[in-house]
Structure 1
Amino acid sequence: MQTPPTGMRIGDEVRDALEDGDPVLALESTILSHGLPAPRNLEVGLASEQQVRALGVTPATIGVIDGVPVVGLSTEEIERLCIAEGVVKASVRDLPIARAKRLHAGTTVAATAWLAHRAGIRVMSTGGLGGVHRGASETFDESADLGTLATTPITLVSAGVKSILDIAATLERLETLNIPVVGYRTERYPAFYVTDSGFALDYRIETPAEAAALALARDELGLPQAVLVANPVDEAKQLDPAFHDRVLAEALAAASAQGVTGHDTTPFLLDFVQRATGGESLEVNLEVYRGNVALGAEIARAVAG
């Protein structure tokens, strides 16, 4: 276990697991603080931790409490992020601001991966990855997830990027940043709500052991990038692709008509899709997350040996 920065805290259960060389899985907290409505967010947060423990792995839900980044939130701290007023959304750049102002914050993929790596955690699960936004050639709107993952050697399981993003441009940026992407039992890149984004992947793996071997190879070469494991939602449980495409087109048109831009775009589009699908997209979201948590736990066990 490496020595973490003094400005963060590692929960006792996670610290003990890391010191003993036991498997640990990092989980982000913006899905709880900003992605799901109460009380569903708390139910999902606690159920995810139980799911990880049932697979013989220690969960490390990461967030910021009173300005202090915590790797391995307690049940009470998870509850605070789910119900407290004024919880902010923190990427890496926001961590010093949250610390100075003593804010509660849910951590994004970028901040979660950065903190997990510095605590010595090697595997993380999330739902969908951030990426390049539509129209980025004019706005330069790109998620900080990409830049952070280019310098953070962790294995990250996600169901691709959110389908509201520019997937083609995101895959190009991942290639430019030298971030390896492999499909888990697929050669098609997933798009969060649907199993196939329409884009092919060059490589696939079949087992958690192969993911662990890939991470080891990265480390032996001294490369700093994350390894991305793209794990599609079960085809039978995806949002109907034609329905998805129609709703997404309506959401994009609504955002344009209302002048929604910048960091407000993603929450606007996701909320529009949820309402337009009568909540069906939320259920798919949760199915995606559960699948990624399960696979992440299996990979964490393989990495720990």
Structure 2
Amino acid sequence: MACRISVISRHISSPPLEHLDDLGVRVAPEVRSALSSGVGVVALESTIVSHGMPYPQNFHTAQEVESIVRANGAVPATIAILDGVPCIGLSLAELERLAKLGTMVSKTARRDIPYVIARRGNGATTVSATMFFASKAGIKVFVTGGIGGVHRQGESTMDVSSDLTELGKTPVAVVCAGVKSILDIPRTLEYLETQGVTVVSYSTDEFPAFFTPNSGCKAPCRADSVEECADIIEANTKLGLGSGILIGVPIPAEHAAAAKNVESAIQSALHEAEGIAGNSVTPFLLKRVNELTGGDSLAANIQLVKNNALVGAKIATALTTRLSRFTKSS
């Protein structure tokens, strides 16, 4: 029994932060203190700041999201690469700098990390890169807007987001509003199953579709409280499965863009996107859909991120209590 508990304890305890110092990763003092003292921490990506909306709206939204995390008992850790240094947690000045630079900052997925660091560049982390750094620091909950996935016509283009493979190999719970509705949601869910990712819908049987609560796809699992979500993450962590968890939180109905209008805009944007490839596709589509919906999709995007931050912070707090209790008992 002692041997079994010892193995489990290695899986649930946070790694010492000194190893990040050795790797040249900077952890903000507030985040370092929270991780050392057992306070819940929520990772936040930075692509949504630099590429998701214009300045100063992006800066104000980022501030509001961080404030929501704090108001619900956790510490925010926005992740980015600044002047070649991976940063877990940003100061207000750094956050504003990132927001002002906007699309001049490199959109950075896992594959891009070495290049951005080697060139001492600035990188806004996507879901995959944010998960990577969060896991290195022992942060178990990450809040974003929506994840990438299998693109429509992906069976021909092979355009599949690295977010999905990262979820298959990195033990971080991603709280989001589902898969971006510009993507092929059924195929994305199939791909997540292949990767061994636990997919949970929060308080609904249907997997959410980013701008709208409904995708027409039944979720594999359902959790009706933040405590249930924490239980699922705890079980995954104790067993050392090594894979991530995707928690889909539907956008509140009062903020949801009209599904019919969004789908019409997506079809038009997809037609216009012919010839655009790689990591430029999603930013183009989101921007064009926002234009075609008269700003409704961006307004919905902001509201869903705030709602995800609320839920994610509560999950992180509930999870920290559980893991702390288990560590003491072992």
Fold shared by both chains (TM-score > 0.5):
yes
Partner of residue 299 from structure 2, selected from 276, 283, 286:
283
Partner of residue 71 from structure 2, selected from 35, 54, 77:
54
DSSP 3-state at the match of 1:194: coil
Partner of residue 13 from structure 1, selected from 16, 27, 30:
30
Does residue 191 (structure 1) correspond to residue 204 (structure 2)? The answer is no
The aligned residue for residue 22 of structure 1 is: 39
The one-letter amino acid of 2:122's match is: H
DSSP 3-state at the match of 1:84: helix
The aligned residue for residue 2 of structure 1 is: 15
Does residue 206 (structure 1) correspond to residue 217 (structure 2)? The answer is no
Partner of residue 262 from structure 1, selected from 278, 293, 307:
278
CA RMSD of aligned residues (A): 1.1
How many angstroms apart in 2 are the aligned matches of 1:88 and 1:113?
Answer: 17
The CA deviation at 1:242 is 1.4
1:50-101, CA deviations, whole angstroms, 9 ceiling, x for partnerless residues? 1111112111011111011100111111111111273111111111111110
How many angstroms apart in 1 are the aligned matches of 2:42 and 2:278?
Answer: 31
How many angstroms apart in 2 are the aligned matches of 1:183 and 1:226?
Answer: 14
The CA deviation at 1:270 is 0.9
DSSP 3-state at the match of 2:207: strand
**Structure 1, 83-92 or 165-174: larger mean CA deviation:** 83-92
1:93-118, CA deviations, whole angstroms, 9 ceiling, x for partnerless residues? 11111111011111001111110110
- Kept in 2: contact 1:161–1:190 (CA 8 A): yes
Does residue 89 (structure 1) correspond to residue 107 (structure 2)? The answer is yes
Between Structure 1 and Structure 2, the one with more strand by share is 1
- Kept in 2: contact 1:128–1:192 (CA 8 A): yes
Does residue 39 (structure 1) correspond to residue 56 (structure 2)? The answer is yes
The aligned residue for residue 176 of structure 1 is: 194
1:194-234, CA deviations, whole angstroms, 9 ceiling, x for partnerless residues? 11111111320011111111011112222011111110001
Does residue 107 (structure 1) correspond to residue 125 (structure 2)? The answer is yes
- Kept in 2: contact 1:132–1:167 (CA 8 A): yes
The one-letter amino acid of 1:51's match is: I
Does residue 149 (structure 1) correspond to residue 167 (structure 2)? The answer is yes
The one-letter amino acid of 2:166's match is: T
TM-score by length of 2: 0.89
1:103-155, CA deviations, whole angstroms, 9 ceiling, x for partnerless residues? 11110011111101101111110000010111221221111111111111111
Unaligned runs of 5+ residues in structure 2 are 1-13, 322-330
DSSP 3-state at the match of 1:191: coil
The aligned residue for residue 247 of structure 2 is: 229
How many angstroms apart in 2 are the aligned matches of 1:267 and 1:235?
Answer: 25
The one-letter amino acid of 1:48's match is: V
The one-letter amino acid of 1:84's match is: L
The aligned residue for residue 327 of structure 2 is: none
The CA deviation at 1:283 is 0.3
DSSP 3-state at the match of 1:196: coil
Write out aligned runs for 1:100-139 (5 A): 100-139=118-157
How many angstroms apart in 1 are the aligned matches of 2:74 and 2:280?
Answer: 35
Q: Matched residues, percent identical?
A: 43
1:158-182, CA deviations, whole angstroms, 9 ceiling, x for partnerless residues? 0111011111110000000010001
The aligned residue for residue 265 of structure 2 is: 247
- Kept in 2: contact 1:81–1:105 (CA 8 A): no
The aligned residue for residue 298 of structure 1 is: 314
Partner of residue 90 from structure 2, selected from 60, 73, 86:
73
Unaligned runs of 5+ residues in structure 1 are none
- Kept in 2: contact 1:127–1:192 (CA 8 A): yes
Runs of at least 4 residues off by over 3 Å: none
1:15-54, CA deviations, whole angstroms, 9 ceiling, x for partnerless residues? 0010001111111110001111111011011111111111
Does residue 63 (structure 1) correspond to residue 80 (structure 2)? The answer is yes
The CA deviation at 1:248 is 1.4
